[in-house]
Amino acid sequence: MSIQKKDDVTYELIIKTAKRLLFKEGRFNVTTQEIADAAGINRTLINYYFRSRDALFELVLQNAVEEEEKRREMIVFSNLPIREKLETFIDYYFEQAKKYPYREVYIVTQMNSESICKLNNKDHIKRLTEKFFLELEHEMEKGNIQKMEPIQFVLNFISMLILPVCMRPLLQNSFDLADEGYDNILANRKEVILKSIFKN
């Protein structure tokens, strides 16, 4: 968008509000009117700044995907040893998850949209994963991690990290836990995950 020149506070406010309703409150079929009300602005401004509802949502989605990629790269390119890499990744995830717990879920629900598949630079991904997988295999050789296909290890790790957050309503309800109780459980996840993954 090249419309805004001096005052883009409204522009940012709309995006921020849309993200909040989508990624934090999980209201995936929120209307433009609801976004406008939550932002305390006139609904027409959404069309003024973003042309259409779809354009706004597309922007927010792309932004979310880029954040995911950024996180993914971070874990590989840092020169920390494996354990510290994973710890950093966990901290980073929980930090973002506190703000936007449903970001990944929303991305999944929008994955059919073709516009989302263009991003992944395949060569880049290949290099990323291969580098990280080698590090994992090396760590398995050393006996610090149980031997398995690296991709399976990553799936285990990502799963244990993300699912208790993104399915919190279902899980909290299933075990009949109060907010505080579930918060405490989440606060212990980092340690639990690390202990589950590393043998020593």
Partner DNA sequence: TTTGCGCTTGACAATTTTGTCAAACATAAA
Partner DNA sequence: TTTATGTTTGACAAAATTGTCAAGCGCAAA
Binds DNA (CB under 7 A): choice among 51, 124, 147, 199: 51
Residue 31: closest CA among 49, 39, 3, 4: 39
Q: Is 146 in the site for DNA (CB under 7 A)?
A: no
Give me the numbers of helices (H) and strands (E) for the chain, helices first please. 11, 0
From CA 78, how far away is CA 67, in angstroms rounded? 17
Q: Is 81 in the site for a copy of itself (CB under 8 A)?
A: no
Inter-residue contact 56 to 46 (CB < 8 Å): yes
Of 49 and 103, the one with the shorter C-beta distance to a copy of itself is 103
Q: Is 43 in the site for DNA (CB under 7 A)?
A: yes
From CA 72, how far away is CA 88, in angstroms rounded? 12
Structural tokens at position 144: 């610090």
Q: Which residues of the shown chain bind DNA in the complex (CB under 7 A)?
A: 3-10, 31-33, 41-48, 51-54
Q: Which residues of the shown chain bind a copy of itself in the complex (CB under 8 A)?
A: 26-29, 68, 72, 104-105, 107-109, 111-112, 116-117, 120, 122, 125-126, 129, 146, 148-149, 151-152, 155-156, 158-164, 166-167, 169-171, 173-176, 185, 188-189, 192-193, 195-196
